[in-house]
Structure 1
Amino acid sequence: MIKIIITGPESTGKSTLTKSLSNYLKEPFVPEFARYFIPTLKESYTASHLVDMARGQLFWHQLYRSNANKVLLCDTGVEAIDIWFQYRFGSIDPQLRALFIADEECVYLVCKPDIPWEADPLRETPHQRPQIFNSFISLLDKFGKKYYIVEGQHEEDRLHCALDHLKKILP
């Protein structure tokens, strides 16, 4: 089983790409835990909430694994929460970093911020997307994680780009 994490800055088409890959490959996908967790909070999220989100996301990865055949498609992973923690709180959380490093058997599809920003109640950084994208690449490089960059101005272009990358690794 290959675990594919679709990741990148906010508003880069991650969820759309994940659903498209799921339809194309006839495999289930793991939704983004934060989209369900944050709306349940009675207050703004805190640093400890981000650690809870990472654990929840990993739990969902394990939960959905039994439904997948050859590929587990994940709409984001701990790497995104790790990077978000740095941007939001200005430091690295050792628990998040350890969870990211331990999540070894993954291939990342990093979505490039080359499509227009779309506002959303959970999105906060319309102007920092290029810098955040570079943070993803730096983090993945630093820890020797395997990744491919997904780009394209249109949904179909991004899907074809992702599929071209997946052909290199899927049996």
Structure 2
Amino acid sequence: MKTKKICIIGGESTFKTTISKSLSKYFNRPWVEEYAIEYFKNRDFDKNPFCESDFLNVANGQLDLEKLSIDRNNNPNFLICDTCPLVTLLWSDKLIGYYSNELLKIAKESKYDLYLFLDYKTKWVNDELRLIPEEKERELFQSKLIEKCKEFEIEYNLLDGSYEDREKKAIKIIQDFIEKILK
């Protein structure tokens, strides 16, 4: 059986990393971290602002991490991905005002078997790479992600509420998904 990819999507500060790591442990399956965190780590954005190639590098790096995880884990039946190129496309649009045709192609061609979409309605927590503290901007980012999901014909499961609520819903959705793929 080909490895199924479960992707956690949403805006920043919605528990994506925390939940994806937790789900990986719960189901004892590989976790694919968000490549952008390492890529942009310790970068001085005043001297080296975001540019088009950054987002292409991040999208390709994310896919490379997924392939590496599949190979390293001998083609597991599924893995948990902390993000995907679709989210990178939206960050490109947000941070440099557009996305390239090449990035659009990567985002459209990267497919996942299950999407868990984390709602923006959480307390925003600052860290070195979080850029949208205003609630209206976070809502707008989510609206644009929903629009792209519709455009790309991506079905997703929206998870809201507290961290615990989101995690419980995610576990149930993945358990149901596993039952389907094992039949």
TM exceeds 0.5? yes
- Aligned pairs for 1:18-167 (under 5 A) are 18-39=20-41, 41=43, 43-66=48-71, 67=73, 69-127=76-134, 128-153=137-162, 155-167=163-175
Q: 1:6: how far off? A: 0.6
Q: TM-score, normalised by structure 1?
A: 0.92
Unaligned runs of 5+ in 2: none
CA distance in structure 2 between the partners assigned to 1:75 and 1:38 by the alignment: 16
SS at match of 2:5: strand
1:135 partner amino acid? K
Runs (4 or more) in structure 1 with deviation over 4 Å come to none
Alpha carbons 1:3, 1:74 under 8 Å: kept: yes
Alpha carbons 1:152, 1:161 under 8 Å: kept: no
Identical pairs, percent: 28
SS at match of 2:68: helix
Alpha carbons 2:50, 2:96 under 8 Å: kept: no
Unaligned runs of 5+ in 1: none
The alignment's C-alpha RMSD in Å is 1.5
Alpha carbons 2:121, 2:160 under 8 Å: kept: yes
CA distance in structure 2 between the partners assigned to 1:71 and 1:146 by the alignment: 18
2:177 partner amino acid? I
Alpha carbons 1:6, 1:74 under 8 Å: kept: yes
1:9 and 2:34 matched: no
Alpha carbons 1:106, 1:146 under 8 Å: kept: no
Structure with larger Rg: 2
2:119 partner amino acid? K
CA distance in structure 1 between the partners assigned to 2:178 and 2:4 by the alignment: 8
Q: TM-score, normalised by structure 2?
A: 0.87
